[in-house]
Structure 1
Amino acid sequence: MSELIIYGQPDGAIGIDDFTVSARKPGGAWRSLFVFEAKVDMHHVRRASMVYFDMEGTIEVTVISNKQRIEQAVIRPLSAQIPFQIEGDAITFTLDRPCKLSIEINEERFSNLHLFANPIETAPPMPDDANVLRVHAGTHKFADIAENVRGMSESADGEQKTIYFMPGIHHFENPMLHIPSGTTVYIAGGAVLYGSMICKHAENIVIRGRGVLYMSNMEKTTYLRGVQIQFSKQIEVEGIITLDPPHYSIYIGQSEHIRIHNFKSFSTRGWCDGIDMMASSNVDIRDVFLRTSDDCIAVYGSRGEYYGDSRNITVSNSVFWADVAHAMHVGIHGDHQNNGDTVANIRFENIDVLEHHEPQENYWGVMAICAGDNNTVRDVTFNQIRVEDFELGQLFDVRVVWNQTYNPVPGRQIENIVFSNITYNGKNTNPSRIFGYDEERRVSDILFCNVQINGEVITSLQNKHFLVNEFVSGIYLQV
């Protein structure tokens, strides 16, 4: 049995008419989708397109190109293996599972269509449920919303409370919602919020739904993030979309037991990473799509007001598109004044990388481990990583570094790293770096297992694909 849920969007949502997109259950009537503007890139900001819906079973999709004639097309990630037909200026294809796709016409990656086919939501709250505060479209004071939630708490014996943002445009006098502990924030499909979610010294918070956090109108100087998690625990983020935040899409500082699933984000401004973790542990990130103007994922030790190691972090089943910098970056920041931090037990699993474009050589690397600030980075695994053709950079970067822009001192060591079942197919073949810093600050025990570059299985690092310095030991290769 197939199911299709399409969300109407409110007047005032920022759209774009490069594509006309429709979906249907097999044999049913075609239903139109609202096409959002999704700004992309930093070096030259452009207007891409984005649609979303929920599905189960089999769904047919048609995409009409309104701005250019279709000479050729591709649906990425290529590993999704979505067959399609071109008829005139339309592309038609069938989906048999939820997925996150880029539909690209005539090799154009900057005015493409991003399509997010979500799974059907599991047990979403209903606006008429008990302990639910319904918030209708309009202009709100976050303080009033929080006060109403506290009032609910006094009469509900500690049960989870829900703030339910109904479909429509939501503006806020202060664009930061400080969410109380024990609260679910539900952003319904068809809701567009001009605001930021803050979890600070809090626990047991869920931020979920099918709506959009729209932040493109906010000044860069605000440094607002889509979701900010500080000194908190037991936080979940699921299903929402963030468009053009002034800073990170999700910021995790000195927090633990964090779950992020089916999150989607786009950014265009400097230092606008996707999901960054400082001094945090026990984080599960799964099924996310990040197209960002800085690192898609970054795992650090101490930074700013956050102090401590970062451990037990898993990132899986996701799609990364780094218009700038790294897709995956580990280790550069730490507590240099107190012998650094340990960043350990980090796993990246089943990832598609659609782009890596970095003009500065010091920040090359689709998969980067750069230990700075006396940090030790150990026990990091990259498994089943599929890297498609990228514009500028390199595949791996494993270095104990002294980046004088960010690190008062070099890192301490990198050890026990695994790269397994990695494929790269593309024209960019800048050699990857494996560098220790000196005799005391080394890289050791690196395993490359079934690493393929343009169909060539890497059996030796003494080739054009790698640069290795004298402060590295214990490099192992397996087929």
Structure 2
Amino acid sequence: MSEKNQLHVYPIPAGAVQQKDYLLRVRSAGGKWKPLSAYQVKVDMHDVREASMVYFDFAGTVELEITFPKFYTVYDVQVRPASAGVQNTFAAKKIILVIDQPGNFSVEINRDRFHNLHVFAGAIEEAPERDASGVLHNTIGNSANDQIAAQPVNRLVYVDPGVHYIGSYIWEIPSDTRVYLAPGAVLMGGLAIRQARNVHIFGRGVVYQGHLDPHYYTDGLTIDQATDVSIAGTCFIDPLHYTIAMGGSDGITIDNVKTFSCLGWSDGFDMMSCSHVTIRRSFLRTSDDCIAIYGSRFNNYGGSHDVTVTDCVLWADVAHPMNMGTHGDAAHDGDVIENIRFENIDVLDQHEFQSNYLGVMALNPGDKNTIRNVMFKNIRIDALEHGRVFDVEVKYNKDYNPAPGQLIENITFEDIHITSGPGEEVSLVAGYDAEHPVRDILFKDIYRDGGKVADLSAANIHVGDYTSQIRIV
């Protein structure tokens, strides 16, 4: 086997919940087959079903083989997003994928999107040295925080492979701490970073909450009034509320994080009154908004600004893939949400029927909020089960808002690629009234089914009242 071809696989620890729909093995080009096991991940709160997830790390090229433990005949295979370019060949009883670059994929056999196989093929990880001086091993939970704080700044907590239960089910990680979740580690419970700084979570491990009472409404990770925080590589399964809830915080980086949710209000990454947030290379399949950007909410006050989301795969079994503006400080003058950028995003689906919550890209300010200076660029949207592509409306959503939003202005949608489907509704651009308008919206290089559209009608966009300077080029 060539030195450039490497492959690392990670056994699922005893006690973790597996899904056994498939028989899986993987090999480097020219190498020996290695068996893989799949985690169970539950999807779609409309009708919760059990899908599969595997992860491994590699360099070079690998082949992934999929066969079946019971009678099954394959007649169709789709690997999404299509932009990943993963090649597959199949016969009646076997599928082979050829993967030559890291990425996060959905393998859908016989057009089944709900018992599918999610494949997270990562780059070779640079793990910290487990036995270095001062490293703490499996020192988790609030009862361990005094021991952690006694170590020097930037101390490392190394969580080994295996199932680890968090006492009191939420661990509030102290400042100046790094937490490494080794591949094969499963943390049972939730994490929190509150009024802390310089906290970094990384590693291929899993944070799991499927064993908890859903009425706890626990986030996978809460970041509250914090600065200089990052999380990289981790997978969340069955969060009871948001996967990552960010409030009143600055300087957050989310890199290559994966999540699956199946409960009401189980959003992906939500931020309230946050600034300088970077989200990249992540995969979100959620039963509420995948990514939402708000102003004031709960104990957080002020607008949100300077948020960048790049190179992500979004799948909203409920609500929006990308949403902003609903919540703000309606008791005063509202908030401003500004300087937002989404770029190089694959949207695998939106499945939502409630009229207030349609929109793959939803700009819906309420609570006297203003949304301005937003860019959506290089967005690829697969055929929607049910939804609309663009929803740019100043709203008065009686479910949440005591007042309508104030304004939407200076928004650009550029290089947007849409695949038509029977579940797509007409996109909307509309103000609320003359005092609450929408203005200066540019649609540039909009493509539908491979062809560039020439006008708003061909883009399936309706422009309503209280709007100005709505252009397509």
- Return 71-80 or 59-68, whichever deviates more: 59-68
Total equivalences in the alignment: 468
CA deviation after TM superposition for structure 1 residue 197, in Å: 1.1
Matches within 5 A, 1:383-422: 383-422=377-416
| One-letter code aligned to 1:429 | E
| One-letter code aligned to 1:250 | I
- Return 167-176 or 264-273, whichever deviates more: 167-176
The counterpart of 2:116, out of the listed 86, 109, 112, is: 112
**Unaligned 5+ runs, structure 1:** none
Question: Is 1:465 aligned with 2:460?
Answer: yes
CA deviation after TM superposition for structure 1 residue 120, in Å: 1.5
- Return 307-316 or 165-174, whichever deviates more: 165-174
The counterpart of 1:236, out of the listed 230, 237, 254, is: 230
Match of 2:73 in 1: 69
- 2:385–2:424 Cα contact (<8 Å) kept: no
3-state DSSP of counterpart to 1:9: coil
3-state DSSP of counterpart to 2:146: helix
- 1:429–1:465 Cα contact (<8 Å) kept: no
| Whole-Å separation in 1 of the counterparts to 2:192 and 2:131 | 25
Q: 1:345 to 1:64 in 2, by over 3 A?
A: same
- 1:186–1:209 Cα contact (<8 Å) kept: yes
Question: Is 1:435 aligned with 2:430?
Answer: yes
| Whole-Å separation in 1 of the counterparts to 2:390 and 2:80 | 22
- 2:294–2:328 Cα contact (<8 Å) kept: yes
- 2:176–2:197 Cα contact (<8 Å) kept: yes
Question: Is 1:30 aligned with 2:30?
Answer: no
| One-letter code aligned to 2:246 | I
| Whole-Å separation in 2 of the counterparts to 1:464 and 1:145 | 56
| Whole-Å separation in 2 of the counterparts to 1:429 and 1:25 | 41
- Return 239-248 or 168-177, whichever deviates more: 168-177
- 2:342–2:375 Cα contact (<8 Å) kept: yes
**Unaligned 5+ runs, structure 2:** none
| Whole-Å separation in 2 of the counterparts to 1:221 and 1:47 | 21
CA deviation after TM superposition for structure 1 residue 370, in Å: 0.2
CA deviation after TM superposition for structure 1 residue 340, in Å: 0.5
CA deviation after TM superposition for structure 1 residue 82, in Å: 1.4
Match of 1:48 in 2: 51
Matches within 5 A, 1:55-454: 55-67=58-70, 68-122=72-126, 124-135=127-138, 142-152=141-151, 156=152, 159-427=153-421, 428-454=423-449
| Whole-Å separation in 1 of the counterparts to 2:114 and 2:220 | 23
TM-score when normalising by structure 1 = 0.96
| Runs of 4+ deviating beyond 3 Å | none
CA deviation after TM superposition for structure 1 residue 143, in Å: 2.6
| One-letter code aligned to 2:103 | C
3-state DSSP of counterpart to 1:402: coil
| Whole-Å separation in 2 of the counterparts to 1:145 and 1:119 | 32
Query: CA deviation digits over 1:374-408, x for unaligned, max 9?
Result: 10100111100000011111111000000011010
CA deviation after TM superposition for structure 1 residue 47, in Å: 0.3
Match of 2:24 in 1: 21
- Return 198-207 or 57-66, whichever deviates more: 57-66
| One-letter code aligned to 1:78 | A
Question: Is 1:477 aligned with 2:472?
Answer: yes
Identity of aligned residues (%): 43
| One-letter code aligned to 1:454 | D
| One-letter code aligned to 2:86 | I
Query: CA deviation digits over 1:72-124, x for unaligned, max 9?
Result: 111111111211111331111211110111111100000000000011123x2
Q: 1:463 to 1:120 in 2, by over 3 A?
A: closer
| One-letter code aligned to 1:437 | Y
| Whole-Å separation in 2 of the counterparts to 1:2 and 1:256 | 39
- 1:347–1:381 Cα contact (<8 Å) kept: yes
| Whole-Å separation in 2 of the counterparts to 1:234 and 1:130 | 25
| Whole-Å separation in 2 of the counterparts to 1:176 and 1:57 | 39
| Whole-Å separation in 2 of the counterparts to 1:100 and 1:276 | 21
| One-letter code aligned to 1:17 | K
Q: 1:466 to 1:206 in 2, by over 3 A?
A: same
CA deviation after TM superposition for structure 1 residue 455, in Å: 3.5
- 2:386–2:424 Cα contact (<8 Å) kept: no
| One-letter code aligned to 1:134 | H
3-state DSSP of counterpart to 1:308: coil
3-state DSSP of counterpart to 2:215: helix
| One-letter code aligned to 2:429 | I
CA deviation after TM superposition for structure 1 residue 8, in Å: 1.4
| One-letter code aligned to 1:96 | D
- 2:256–2:283 Cα contact (<8 Å) kept: yes
